[in-house]
């Protein structure tokens, strides 16, 4: 694996203390924890393939701290909600063969890329994450003999220091998705990331990302598990207070027709009966 240069790497890609064997960087550790939580909540072959022992152990420890806590359900519901929102704005993808490109930023060990490639089978889907994460993800998929859709590909990059344009090298994108990326960066960096993403979108294309809600975190009773999580991945860089602030972030990056959605409300519309805490708002902006 290619070593990370701490002087040039973004905050999520710098080497830091790993007390539980989850990974050398914040990005790796976050990816491992999320994979463990997804496998505990929904033990599909794909989700299980994405985990390591320490990620599953960490997820079980968090579960025991707050048994049956609805906050955990957010992890399982997030990709379903995001796919539903892509479908609602799916006119940007067109129909028939070669019906557009979807890019997932900071894909981690999520299986959402596989799910999107299956759901939007005529679209090209590209996952982007740190080199170590992408290489390890592909290795795990091969070992588990998980079939990769032909319209899914992978690209390695640190988007904290590289622009999306330079990574995609001229590919025009219809939909960009970022699940769990923006909370790790400060407000100025979030606006920069959103602006760089916008430059890779076609006119009329959409950016879909979740932004962390400070009020929900403050009110949530699962502070022990959140503190435990933060010890491994560090503090969050940005949090918004309300819907207006979430929309303002996207508008500051040049998007228009910005809309926000509560994951719990979309989950209810999808018929998901498990309670969900809205740790984040899902925000969609058009170019």
Predicted local confidence at residue 128, as pLDDT: 94
Percent of the chain with pLDDT over 90: 44
pLDDT band at 5, cuts 50/70/90? very low
The tokens for 88 are: 């609602």
Predicted local confidence at residue 171, as pLDDT: 85
40 vs 257: CA distance, rounded Å:
37
Q: Which of 54-58, 102-106, 192-196 has the lowest mean pLDDT?
A: 54-58
Q: Which of 66-70, 249-253, 279-283 has the lowest mean pLDDT?
A: 66-70
More confidently predicted of 198 and 133: 198
Check pLDDT > 70 for residue 253. yes
How far is CA 41 from each of CA 34, 77, 87, 117, 212, rounded to the nearest angstrom?
Answer: 11, 10, 24, 22, 21
Check pLDDT > 60 for residue 233. no
Check pLDDT > 50 for residue 1. no
Check pLDDT > 60 for residue 234. no
Longest Cα–Cα distance of the chain, Å, equals: 49
Predicted local confidence at residue 180, as pLDDT: 86
pLDDT band at 2, cuts 50/70/90? very low
Most confident of 160-164, 182-186, 234-238, 283-287: 283-287
- CA-closest candidate to residue 237, choices 30, 1, 4: 30
Check pLDDT > 70 for residue 163. yes
- pLDDT (mean) for 135-142: 95
128 contacts: CB under 8 Å, gap ≥ 6: 103, 104, 105, 106, 107, 134, 154, 155, 156, 157, 159, 164, 167
Percent of the chain with pLDDT over 70: 78
Supply the pTM of this predicted model.
0.85
Q: Let me know: does 26 contact 16? Beta carbons within 8 Å.
A: yes
Q: Let me know: does 13 contact 185? Beta carbons within 8 Å.
A: no
Pairing relationship of beta strands 201-212 and 280-286 according to DSSP bridges: antiparallel
- pLDDT (mean) for 148-168: 88
pLDDT band at 221, cuts 50/70/90? low
The tokens for 158 are: 């640190």
Predicted local confidence at residue 261, as pLDDT: 95
More confidently predicted of 236 and 11: 236
User: What is the pLDDT of the chain when averaged over all its residues?
Assistant: 83
């Amino acid at each position: 694996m290619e070593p990370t240069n701490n002087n040039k790497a973004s905050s999520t890609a710098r080497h830091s203390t790993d007390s539980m064997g989850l990974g050398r960087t914040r990005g790796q550790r976050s990816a491992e924890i999320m994979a463990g939580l997804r496998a505990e909540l929904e033990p599909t072959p794909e989700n299980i393939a994405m985990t390591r022992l320490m990620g599953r152990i960490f997820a079980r420890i968090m579960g025991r701290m707050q048994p049956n806590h609805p906050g955990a359900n957010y992890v399982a519901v997030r990709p379903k909600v995001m796919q539903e929102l892509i479908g609602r704005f799916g006119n940007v993808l067109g129909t028939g063969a070669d019906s557009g490109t979807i890019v997932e930023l900071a894909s981690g060990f999520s299986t959402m890329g596989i799910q999107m490639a299956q759901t939007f089978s005529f679209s090209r889907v590209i996952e982007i994450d740190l080199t170590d994460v992408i290489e390890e993800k592909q290795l795990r998929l091969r070992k588990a003999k998980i079939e990769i859709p032909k319209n899914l590909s992978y690209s390695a990059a640190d988007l904290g220091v590289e622009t999306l344009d330079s990574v995609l090298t001229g590919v025009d994108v219809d939909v960009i998705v970022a699940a769990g990326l923006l909370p790790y960066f400060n407000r100025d960096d979030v606006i920069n990331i959103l602006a760089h993403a916008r430059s890779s979108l076609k006119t009329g294309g959409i950016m879909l990302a979740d932004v962390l809600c400070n009020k929900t975190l403050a009110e949530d009773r699962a502070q022990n598990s959140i503190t435990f999580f933060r010890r491994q991945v560090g503090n969050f860089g940005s949090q918004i207070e309300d819907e207006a602030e979430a929309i303002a972030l996207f508008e500051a990056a040049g998007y228009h027709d910005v809309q926000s959605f509560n994951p719990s409300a979309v989950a209810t519309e999808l018929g998901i009966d498990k309670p969900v805490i809205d740790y984040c708002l899902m925000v969609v902006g058009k170019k």
